Structure 1
């Protein structure tokens, strides 16, 4: 396959060291992640509440709109932002880790001699570096998402509505009941989701971007004119569409793994003598609700992922292009 014309350059850019590039990925990725989290968080809260409805009781929510309505009526609009402090840290960690590990994945391909440094990576190679980024990022994300899910879906006290929870008490409870290992409860689900989702996130964005550049360069009469077109950023609407396609691809393709993970992570702390495994939880969900249960909350998730990912890539690419760190 012809190399992708939109593939980003290698980790070590002219005038930059690998360390400088890594700092850039972490800093600008953190900024982009925080922006995206503020946009998507209410939708994420609804998604987790839909996913974590118990099997043995009638469904509390008829769908995303009903969940929004009930949540606002019972606790107000701010309840949809409950626990956002930890996810803001998580969003910064997630996005910066994805961009950092994706750059490290590129460097690994170059160092292993699998890809020459003098040409851009092809689109399939970018899917591979995306999977690399997702796999390593999953180990950063699982503890953060565990705390987030327990705050978003607090366990009701006997005869009383659930009390709001804060990150530090949740962290203490997890450590007291399950030790350090307990923070990675649901890791397999996160690993599956992030490895496949990371490949889809970077891969879909670069694929759509490559298509747009391919359409633009059809009119180029000379090689110099083509290179001039390739050196210019796409129009904002095309950047947004490429980023939005990344968010939808990431969430839709591996949503069942995320559903199982959310169910595992919303089990009350110390509530089960034996922790259910990823496969046991998935089998139980399939028996109760089939494929539809696996994708419960997927629509609202894709709806929030499209603008969120669009903003993340636009902010990240814009910062790197206009404010390069030296």
Structure 2
């Protein structure tokens, strides 16, 4: 549905802008560049957030496609299932959307990770498109999809947890504060439970030198070198980022869809119909969105 795409795009962009500095911190800590405090000092060196926002173009550039897949697949899959309001339907739809989004998200996150970890003189250029061209030129198409398997293993169950948790916490209370809280908690749970897989994914995708030959090899070498604690390294930054980013995302989605409902049924109905959107789009809004 057009509404799923628009709301998901706005919500996703809002969440990325709010949480990208903490995502950069997470990647640096996961890659063994020091403690959270040491990495924070390095990222803020110079007194600006320029380094912390490095690589933000990659997720922003693909967020429309990613969120169209996530929210579009989730909404349409759930509505196609029997007993579509059950928690099982929400979880199943989330798992399907997580699986499909991985094919788009994996190369986006690889480019983002390489840009976030880039050092002067290592050959990685500035800028998202330049980074894509560099990775493709030096490693071919397969290099852009390095880490796809671990991305699927992370995202499919993570989004099942994500949407199910949000539904549990937001049922019966669609206030703005509760939508933000439910989205934030859903984000935390989906990240914390799958976090070790995210650590391995970050290390594989950030491995420009080719040290790891696969997921199991990366896991063994990481634990051997840095101990078991490396599987939870950076979780503090992830927890804060997950709550903020996903709270903002769900709030933006809810506000967008609620605003669409108000204006589609009042002032903008003639414009929407003139633009080619159907009556079904105007009315296909469920009671899960909070009151403005």
Displacement of 1:91 in angstroms is: 3.3
Correspondence for 1:190 among 141, 151, 154 = 151
- The match for 1:243 is 183
Deviation sequence 1:126-181 (CA, Å, 0-9, x none) = 111111110111111001011100100014537xxx87622222211221222222
Considering only CA atoms, is the larger Rg found in Structure 1 or Structure 2? 1
5+ residue gaps, structure 2, are 262-280, 283-292
Residue 5 of structure 2 contacts residue 68 of structure 2 at CA under 8 Å; is this kept in 1? yes
Give distance in 2, aligned partners of 1:151 and 1:38.
16
Residue 127 (1) aligns with residue 98 (2): no
- The match for 1:61 is 34
Deviation sequence 1:80-106 (CA, Å, 0-9, x none) = 111211221233333332111112322
Give distance in 2, aligned partners of 1:75 and 1:264.
31
- The match for 1:293 is 230
Give distance in 1, aligned partners of 2:31 and 2:120.
14
5+ residue gaps, structure 1, are 1-21, 54-59, 110-114, 214-232
Give distance in 1, aligned partners of 2:47 and 2:103.
33
Displacement of 1:264 in angstroms is: 0.9
- The match for 1:318 is 255
Identify if the C-alpha distance between structure 1 residues 163 and 124 changes in structure 2 by more than 3 Å, giving closer, same or farther: closer
Give distance in 1, aligned partners of 2:166 and 2:108.
25
The number of equivalent residue pairs is 263
User: TM-score, normalising length from structure 2?
Assistant: 0.83
- The match for 2:7 is 28
Residue 24 of structure 1 contacts residue 320 of structure 1 at CA under 8 Å; is this kept in 2? yes
SS of match in other structure, 2:44: helix
Give distance in 1, aligned partners of 2:164 and 2:241.
19
SS of match in other structure, 2:52: helix
- The match for 2:45 is 73
User: TM-score, normalising length from structure 1?
Assistant: 0.75
Residue 32 of structure 1 contacts residue 92 of structure 1 at CA under 8 Å; is this kept in 2? no
